[in-house]
Structure 1
Amino acid sequence: MNIDQLVHDPEGPILLVGGYGTVGAELARAARGRWPLLFAGRSPGKAAELCRELSAEARRWDLSAPEPFHASVRAVVSLVNDPDDRVLRAALGGGIPYVDVTRWTARMQRAVALVSLGSPTAPTLLSSGWMGGVVPLVAAALAERLGSVESVDTAIRYDLADRAGADSVEFMDRLGVDFEVLEGGRGKMVSPLTSARTLAIGQDRTRVARIDTPEQFTLPLTLGARTVTTRIGFSSNSSTSTLIALGRTGFFRHARGDCWRPVRRRLLYSPGEGGTAAVRIEVRGPGGSLTATVTDPRGQAHMTAVGGLLGLRRVLGDDGAPAARAGLAFPESHPLPATVLPALEAAGVLIDVVPSSPASSAPSSVAAA
């Protein structure tokens, strides 16, 4: 049986699997000059221009094909869907620092089990929280300021004019699947696109509704939050309303097969020339609450790449914090949360943190749409 093999070389390149896509190219440019880079994917010819720009190399690794992949690398960042965990297994087998920014919740839970059973000998960071782990990173920074956490409430404004890779709307394939969250310390099954509200996200009032994201699984484990909620809305409120209406009809439950995938994607995947990524994160604790508005004028691909870069620096011990230990970690496990917001701002992500008023902190105060 042919097996992928990665060998750890502390002086080798950073392997970016899928690194020439929309997010991968942003991450590669952000990593320019820090480390040598090696791109891998099923169509390495598409990386030719980027390789010339960054003096990098590209090699073929088709995760759906039987041919094995071999390389000696310093660390691995997975920027593509890895349905059979080939990239993760190869990194674990080679004892190589690993960062993953692409998994939805169910696949992250599977990865947690795989890593836990694999006795990893290098840091393994599952950073698939929204925007490459930016949301859980900010939540951790706010939680440290408050001292303890009761709840984390996130609202995402998805700019339909933004640049986007094909995988950026992967969540569309999960809109027909109920998911479990923690509310008041108890597990609860909820349906996507329910509990709609209208919230101020930056300068815009945006209609948002429930969505399954990995931080709703990890934040109760890492920060001890008893309630974690994530909602998403679009720069066009009419698009959000259409999506919610389709959810109510049961469209996404009945259109879950592969044959319906092009239809699901056409509902949202129409990438433009660029937009602004915006997220509102409210963390509440016994002593009060803080709300951070996180925006990136360069868009969601750039913000996700920044999250991936901070994750890469973390597993390599390159961020000024104590060296990462071997084993499983999440972004919000950062040993120095106070350094997170300055690091994000230094990378071009804008963050405005304000105390939430008692009225705005209460769940009942948010207007239902």
Structure 2
Amino acid sequence: MSPAPILLIGGSGIVGRWTARFLRAAHPDQPLLIGGRDLAKAKKVATEIGGAEGVVLDLAIDGLGLGERPVSAVAVFFTDERIAGLRFAQSRGVPHISISPGIIEIGPEVAAYIHDPDAAPVVLGTEWLVGATTVPTLEFAKAFGRVHDIAIGALLDEQDAFGPAAAADLERQTKTMPAALARRNGAYLWRVGDDAKAKFRAVDGTLMEASALSPYDVVGLATATGAPNVQFSLAIGVSSTRRRGEPMSTEIVIELAGEDQAGRPLRTRHAIVHPEGQMPLTGLGVAMVLERLVGLDGNPATPPGLYFPYQLLEPAAYFARLEKIGGMVMTLDVF
């Protein structure tokens, strides 16, 4: 009996296509449904991926227009204001991940989970590039006996690809939402006005003007490490590779400060870089989360629960796949 397909809602977009490619490369026999409003576009992507089918979806009706067709998991690549994909997944008892809602938009998904916690796993996936920040940060933190400060600086090159959904999400989270969450001295607060302005040094040492942002990384990393100071900053400009005359890239600079296992002061700086920009990293994270949710990685499927991506991604496997797709982990000088 062939496995039920994974449904990618918005799968014909940039991140959806990357996710489908990674799933197809790792699991040639896993069927996929590329879902969207434009059937011709969905079918075109499905043909390119192979072993996939394009389907038209209607988020305003029960069953999304799929009738009784079985699926094994649901991923949503845009802001689903109706949480239709989640309600559909819960009704089928299958896992769900979305990667777009901001931290102040967490309520509908959490409420749906609380209402029916035993239905299926629900993944709150709006970490920066879906695990590309949290998984490495938690690995670097293992060198510390105690982490005091976590400062994340994400640099998007202005030439990087932004699909319509990603552009809308970024616009909403940087312009519409007037404040960004951070943790200072153990207390959560909202950064507004001048307090939301930030700077960090890119991989090549260039000082970047940035703005505070609050993906789920802030609360996830603060909770996982106990660090009393956690902040996330986003800069959009020229990446380090392009400044030295190479093609653009995306980079994430991770700065940690605290004490080592012997109680001595310790500071580290690392970077995650991908030469093709933000979308491959995001697609990889979603693909690996889906693999873990349905057991495609060879382990039992994930039980019902409410999860962040980093709780599902095994670090050694993530780093191996990151390297395979051209991503790099760099150790940087401490300023």
Category of TM-score, reference length = shorter chain: 0.7 to 0.9
Q: What TM-score comes out, normalization by structure 1 length?
A: 0.76
For residues 117 and 337 of structure 1, do their structure 2 counterparts lie closer, same or farther at Cα, with a shift above 3 Å needed?
farther
- CA deviation map 1:113-163 (0-9, x unaligned): 332332134332222111123212222222234354333211111111112
Q: What's the C-alpha RMSD, in Å, of the aligned pairs? A: 2.7
User: 2:8–2:34: 8 Å Cα contact kept in structure 1?
Assistant: yes
Q: C-alpha separation between the residues in 1 aligned to 2:224 and 2:65? A: 34
Q: C-alpha separation between the residues in 1 aligned to 2:235 and 2:119? A: 40
Which residue pairs with 1:329 in the alignment?
Answer: 307
For residues 207 and 45 of structure 1, do their structure 2 counterparts lie closer, same or farther at Cα, with a shift above 3 Å needed?
same
1:204 is displaced (CA, Å) by 4.6
For residues 202 and 121 of structure 1, do their structure 2 counterparts lie closer, same or farther at Cα, with a shift above 3 Å needed?
farther
1:82 is displaced (CA, Å) by 0.7
1:65 is displaced (CA, Å) by 6.4
1:72 is displaced (CA, Å) by 0.7
> Counterpart of 1:187 in 2: which secondary structure?
strand
The aligned amino acid for 2:184 is: E
Structure 2 counterpart of 1:345, from 291, 299, 323 = 323
Q: Does 1:41 align with 2:33?
A: no
> Counterpart of 1:306 in 2: which secondary structure?
helix
For residues 303 and 10 of structure 1, do their structure 2 counterparts lie closer, same or farther at Cα, with a shift above 3 Å needed?
same
Q: C-alpha separation between the residues in 1 aligned to 2:39 and 2:145? A: 47
The aligned amino acid for 2:323 is: E
Which residue pairs with 1:124 in the alignment?
Answer: 122
Q: C-alpha separation between the residues in 2 aligned to 1:22 and 1:203? A: 30
For residues 68 and 51 of structure 1, do their structure 2 counterparts lie closer, same or farther at Cα, with a shift above 3 Å needed?
closer
Which residue pairs with 1:261 in the alignment?
Answer: none
Which residue pairs with 1:290 in the alignment?
Answer: 268
The aligned amino acid for 2:34 is: F
User: 2:89–2:95: 8 Å Cα contact kept in structure 1?
Assistant: yes
Structure 1 counterpart of 2:156, from 152, 155, 158 = 158
Alignment of 1:1-369 (within 5 A): 11-33=3-25, 34=27, 35-55=30-50, 56-64=52-60, 68-70=64-66, 71-169=69-167, 170-174=169-173, 175-176=175-176, 177-191=178-192, 194-202=196-204, 204-236=206-238, 275-287=248-260, 288-319=266-297, 324-334=302-312, 336-354=314-332, 357=334, 360=335
For residues 116 and 228 of structure 1, do their structure 2 counterparts lie closer, same or farther at Cα, with a shift above 3 Å needed?
farther
Question: Percent identity among equivalent residues?
Answer: 25
Runs of 4+ aligned structure 1 residues displaced above 6 Å come to: none
Q: Mean alpha-carbon deviation: is it higher for 297-306 or for 192-201?
A: 192-201
The aligned amino acid for 1:341 is: F
- CA deviation map 1:24-67 (0-9, x unaligned): 11111111151111011111211232222223211111335678
Unaligned runs of 5+ in 1: 1-8, 238-273, 361-369
Q: C-alpha separation between the residues in 2 aligned to 1:284 and 1:109? A: 32
User: 1:199–1:207: 8 Å Cα contact kept in structure 2?
Assistant: no
Q: What TM-score comes out, normalization by structure 2 length?
A: 0.83
1:166 is displaced (CA, Å) by 1.3
